Structure 1
């Protein structure tokens, strides 16, 4: 329990520090991120169902 509390506190402190000292962009909503990831995977697979995206 104490270990989890220390890890949580460290992460919270790091997040606050970064938010105060660096200009970071907002994170997109999960649906948009999922769609981008899906499009990236489809482009790597070749979009036609082939694995690896290369002609064998």
Structure 2
């Protein structure tokens, strides 16, 4: 019985997400998202820069 409710809950959440995505795509101008590899590389560079700032702060 719990499995059935889990499937229903997941389906409702998925449907709400799809509906929201379609609504936003139709009514708002949204820039294209970069590919995941580029986003990951940007995140890595950001984390590395923050880590180097923290390490430089400890050395002073």
Superposition TM-score tier, normalisation by shorter sequence: 0.7 to 0.9
TM-score, normalising length: structure 1: 0.83
**Which has the bigger relative contact order, CA under 8 A and spacing at least 6?**
1
What is the total number of aligned residue pairs between the two structures?
A: 53
Is 1:54 the counterpart of 2:57? The answer is: yes
RMSD over equivalenced CA pairs, Å: 1.9
Long gaps (5+) in structure 2 = 1-6
Identify unmatched segments of 5+ residues in structure 1.
Answer: none
| CA distance in structure 1 between the aligned counterparts of 2:9 and 2:33, rounded to whole angstroms | 28
SS of the residue 1:7 aligns to: helix
TM-score (norm 2): 0.78
Higher helix share: 2
